[in-house]
Structure 1
């Protein structure tokens, strides 16, 4: 089970969003590059970066993201408003280990499939769910797709994984959110990564029991120090350890 310590960047600073509200970010007074280095030092194998300015279509975090990719010491999974082939190819050339795509996959699924074939195991599908439908445009617009039908449409493509966010339950009802993630994980052959469900180490332990769940993103809980990354990594690793049989 992989844990992806997560940074969300807005105007060069680390922030967290509540239920996707771009206008109400929580600001964290930490250095993004040093924080990325600390993730690797704690033992993380991957990290995740979301470019909030990319989602909003303003500002420019490009230099900072490039610095994080160079300095992190671990592969970086990058998301945030990637809606063109040129942008995706640019960031893969700049060293992003994976690129996360949401809106573009809804609007131009054939292009997304082509990119998945061109960059096998580097494209990640974002499935953001609100009231039973897939959301686009940074959680601002509702599509006509159910998450089950949407995921099934890409089941034969060589994706690195699927990030599932239950927006409706992400900050209120973790049991409901866990049910949504469990259902989608059972419905796809792709590894599923949970987002927005971890507020404590106990949540990490709960997620390790979900079949086909390959990982989880943890952002706010790390920056608020509600979760210690080294402890979370230990819990996630222990879930895959062999258990002796009693005779």
Structure 2
């Protein structure tokens, strides 16, 4: 299982949001580029970046995003505000390893399917779930889609993966969260990444054994130091199966 250490950017700063509230960021006083390098040094294979300014149509982080992609030393999975084909192509050309698309998939699913065919292994579908509905516009608007129906609409699409986010991740019922994720993951034919349910090493250990979960996105827990990245990466590694000793 792959651990995706995650940076969320707002106005050039590393932040965390509570249930997507853009006006209530928790600000982490760290350098984003140096943080990305530390992810690589700890052994991460990938990292994830969300551009919250991009979510609302801004471009204040563009130069910083380019610097992270260029200097991180590991592939960057980029999300935040991709509403057009041109924006997706632009960032792929800039070197983003994958592009995460959510709102556009609710508005123009045919375009997202075409993008997935045009860019194999580079388009990831975001399934952001709140109270049983898929959310769009940076978690600010509820759609009419249930996550099950939304995922089914892309069942034949050659996506690089699906990110399932439990927006109600501040509740303490971790087992209930993982149960929801497990049920959705069982429907998906491509690798599934989960976000919003990983706060401790124990959560990684649980997620590791859910069928079809190939990765976890971890951000706030790393910045708050509730989770050590090197330890998380070690726990996520597969354990060798015991071999019978026939005498």
User: Aligning the two structures, in what range does the TM-score lie when normalised by the shorter sequence?
Assistant: over 0.9
Instruction: For 1:10 and 1:136, locate their aligned partners in 2 and report how far apart those are by CA, in whole Å.
Output: 18
In the alignment, which residue of structure 2 is the partner of 1:152?
A: 152
Structure 1 segments, 4+ long, off by >3 Å, are: none
| Distance in 1 between residues matched to 2:137 and 2:108, nearest whole Å | 14
Match status 1:99 vs 2:92: no
Checking the alignment, whether the CA contact within 8 Å between 1:11 and 1:59 is kept in structure 2 is no
* Mapped partners of 1:180, 1:155: distance in 2: 19
In structure 2, the partner of 1:178 is: 178
Which runs of 5 or more structure 1 residues have no equivalent in the other structure?
Answer: none
Provide, for residues 50-102 of structure 1, a one-character-per-residue CA deviation record: whole Å limited to 9, x for no partner: 00001122351000000000110000000001011110000000000000000
Using the TM superposition, give the Cα deviation of residue 241 of structure 1 relative to its aligned residue in structure 2, in angstroms.
Answer: 2.4
2: CA distance between counterparts of 1:13 and 1:149? 36
**Aligned residues of 1:47 and 1:75 also touching (Cα < 8 A):** yes
- Tell me which residue corresponds to 2:34: 34
**Which whole-Å deviations, capped at 9, do the CAs of 1:142-163 have from their partners, x for residues lacking one?**
1111101110111111101000
In 2, Cα distance between equivalents of 1:109 and 1:243: 41
Separation of aligned partners in 1, 2:84 and 2:58:
16
- Structure 2 distance, partners of 1:246, 1:166, is 40
Cα distance in 2, alignment partners of residues 121 and 159 from structure 1: 6
Match of residue 240, structure 2, among 235, 239, 242: 242
Aligned match of 1:129:
129
SS in 1 for 2:7: strand
1:53-68 to 2 correspondences below 5 Å: 53-68=53-68
Return 5+ residue gaps in structure 2 as ranges.
none
Q: Work out the CA distance in 2 between the residues paired with 1:245 and 1:41.
A: 33
TM superposition score normalised by structure 1 = 0.97
Alignment of 1:1-247 (within 5 A): 1-168=1-168, 170-172=169-171, 173-237=173-237, 240-245=238-243
SS in 1 for 2:186: helix
Structure 1 residue 167 displacement after superposition: 1.1
1:187 alignment partner, SS class: coil
CA contact (8 A) 1:22 1:56 kept: no
Query: Equivalent residue of 2:211, what SS?
Result: coil
Aligned-pair CA distance for 1:17: 0.5
C-alpha root-mean-square deviation of aligned residues, in Å? 1.0
Secondary structure, aligned partner of 1:27: strand
Give distance in 2, aligned partners of 1:59 and 1:17: 19
Deviations for 1:94-153, whole angstroms, at most 9, x for unmatched residues? 000000000000100000000000001100000000111100000011111110111011
How many residue pairs match? The answer is: 244
TM-score normalised by length of structure 2: 0.97
